[in-house]
């Protein structure tokens, strides 16, 4: 989907969109649309309620267009969430009518956000309504190339481009999560990162098993041991901030998780999406580079499979980490935190970041507690969480902060080693976050457990069954805001 600014409707258009304040008489900013409406419905006192959408055919500029009229009440709670939801519905209707040439009337009659903010949101939602993953189907979904002409000042063209690029980054993450483990091996994930880096403008370095061994990544390599596929330690770097220390992103990159010797009893067909944290940081890097944000960013993915083999690491083993701390492996199905512990240490010691944001769909505990509403965060620096929380109206991605009381930290202790990777105690999400927080040294650190947010089993207006791309928008807007702070 491509967006461009125009000063007037030039037509003909397959569809036209107009979002009006709820309860206001129908009127248009574009003169041609207003004239066409007046000629056919000038005496109609029509108003629309909040989220009410009407569809009709209207003669316009020598042809006929499908006109979508929608009402919106800016006084509702969480108006930006409601605004995105409305645009998801409008995008789904556009997809149904297969409109390829669309006109969007001005979005300048709402006071809860600027015109630029509203346009950015609309452009970030509409392309997602077209998304489908049909790579392995012999009959593909039909593709329609859309051009959306937006009645707006030409100075707002970068806003449209930013929204579209962010939607593209979310779809990149969805593609990675949706692909199957047979295809998206650690080596294939590394290859795609290289291709994306070349396309969007960030560099990619991949460390092999021997290099990881030389760095002392005992935890990462222990997890990788049971797979016939070689592990890939992927480092992506974007330089937009001169001499500033980079913001570090770490994403869980388990391309398939059988549970290891602690074999999963059910749901293994979905374990291809255990790399959703990696997908989020990869997508975010694409958007950051596309929009030339003025910050340095490094993103790290320790990619491997957690499989069953004679060489698999065992429940009850002890392994050294890159940090020097030793870890007692109580549960081989708590593998993601092991790989990311070494990734966090790598960031601290090799990249000297200003802060580290680590993301993963990590524990069933968070899935069960927070459900499909929000992700969970744990931090050593409250300011990091405050910055994430402040972005929730902009991104629509919600987070709750988990506690880090000393009593929880006590549970990580074991007589066998410095740390226990999966202590008993019930608070699985908190304990996983505190385990990872043991490796950030003195760098401000935020852990995010996506929980159930990265994958859905049912279709909605702008979301098909499968990967959601959750986290991409948060990471992008976090880095964007930090560029402003610098």
Facing residues of 463 across strands? 460
**CA proximity to 11, closest of 105, 101, 145:** 101
Facing residues of 417 across strands? 414
Q: Are residues 30 and 105 in contact, defined by beta-carbon separation less than 8 angstroms?
A: yes
252 tagged catalytic: no
What is the arrangement of strands in the sheet containing 419-420, beginning at the earlier edge strand?
318-320, 326-328, 419-420
Q: Are residues 97 and 12 in contact, defined by beta-carbon separation less than 8 angstroms?
A: no
The whole-angstrom distance between residue 1's C-alpha and the CA centroid of its chain comes to: 19
Return the percent helix, strand and coil in the chain, to nearest 5.
40, 25, 40
Facing residues of 399 across strands? 375
Alpha-carbon distance of 34 to 37, in angstroms, equals: 5
Q: Do you know the residue count of the chain?
A: 486
Alpha-carbon distance of 120 to 228, in angstroms, equals: 45
**Would you state the structure tokens that stand for residue 142, as one six-digit string?**
């039909």
What DSSP letter does each residue of 137-174 carry, written as one string?
A: -SSPPP----EEEEES-GGGHHHHHHHHHHHHHHHHHH
135 tagged catalytic: no
- Dihedral of alpha carbons 255, 261, 264, 269, sign: positive
CA gyration radius, the chain: 24
The whole-angstrom distance between residue 179's C-alpha and the CA centroid of its chain comes to: 16
Alpha-carbon distance of 210 to 217, in angstroms, equals: 10
- Give me the residue label for tokens 């505190």: 434
Among 252, 337, 387, 480, which one carries the catalytic annotation? 337
A 10 A CB-CB count for 39 gives 10
Which letter does DSSP use for residue 43 in this model?
A: T
Among 264, 325, 398, 409, which one carries the catalytic annotation? 264
* Residues forming the active site: 264, 337
């Amino acid at each position: 989907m491509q967006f461009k600014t125009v000063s007037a409707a030039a037509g003909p258009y397959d569809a036209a969109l107009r979002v009006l304040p709820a309860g206001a008489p129908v009127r248009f900013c574009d003169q041609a649309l207003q004239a066409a409406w007046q000629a056919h419905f000038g005496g109609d006192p029509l108003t629309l309620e909040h989220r009410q959408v009407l569809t009709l055919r209207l003669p316009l500029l020598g042809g006929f267009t499908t006109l979508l009229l929608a009402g919106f009440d800016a006084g509702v709670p969480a108006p930006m969430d409601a605004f995105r939801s409305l645009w998801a519905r409008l995008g789904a209707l556009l997809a149904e009518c297969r409109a390829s040439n669309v006109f969007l009337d001005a979005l300048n009659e709402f006071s809860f956000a600027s015109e630029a903010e509203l346009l950015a949101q609309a452009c970030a939602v509409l392309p997602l309504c077209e998304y489908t993953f049909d790579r392995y189907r012999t009959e593909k979904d039909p593709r329609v190339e859309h051009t959306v002409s937006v009645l707006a000042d030409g100075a707002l063209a970068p806003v449209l481009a930013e929204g579209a690029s962010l939607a593209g980054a979310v779809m990149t993450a969805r593609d990675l999560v949706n692909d199957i483990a047979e295809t998206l091996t650690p080596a294939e994930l590394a290859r795609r990162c290289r291709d994306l880096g070349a396309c969007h403008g960030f560099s990619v370095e991949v460390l092999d098993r021997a290099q990881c061994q030389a760095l002392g990544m005992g935890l990462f390599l222990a997890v990788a041991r049971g797979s016939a596929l070689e592990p890939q330690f992927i480092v992506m770097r974007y330089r937009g901030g001169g001499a500033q220390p980079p913001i570090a992103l770490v994403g869980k990159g388990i391309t398939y998780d059988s549970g290891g010797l602690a074999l999963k009893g059910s749901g293994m067909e979905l374990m291809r999406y255990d790399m959703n944290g990696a997908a989020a940081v990869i997508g975010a890097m694409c958007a950051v580079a596309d929009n030339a944000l003025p910050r340095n960013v490094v993103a790290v993915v320790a990619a491997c499979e957690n499989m069953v083999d004679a060489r698999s690491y065992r429940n009850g083993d002890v392994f050294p980490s890159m940090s020097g701390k030793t870890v007692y492996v109580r549960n081989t199905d708590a593998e993601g935190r092991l790989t990311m512990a070494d990734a966090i240490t790598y960031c601290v010691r090799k990249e000297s970041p200003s802060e580290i944001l680590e993301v993963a769909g990590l524990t069933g505990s968070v899935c069960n507690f927070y459900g499909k509403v929000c992700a969970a965060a744990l931090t050593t620096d409250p300011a990091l969480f405050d910055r994430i929380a402040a972005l929730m109206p902009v991104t629509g991605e919600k987070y709750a902060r988990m506690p880090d009381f000393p009593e929880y930290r006590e549970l990580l202790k074991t007589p066998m080693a410095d740390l226990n990777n999966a202590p008993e105690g019930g608070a699985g999400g908190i304990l996983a976050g505190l385990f990872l927080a043991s490796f950030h040294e003195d760098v401000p650190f935020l852990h995010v457990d996506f929980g159930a947010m990265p994958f859905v089993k049912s279709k909605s207006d702008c979301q098909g069954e499968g990967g959601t791309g959750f986290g991409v928008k948060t990471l992008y807007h976090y880095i964007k805001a930090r560029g402003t702070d610098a």
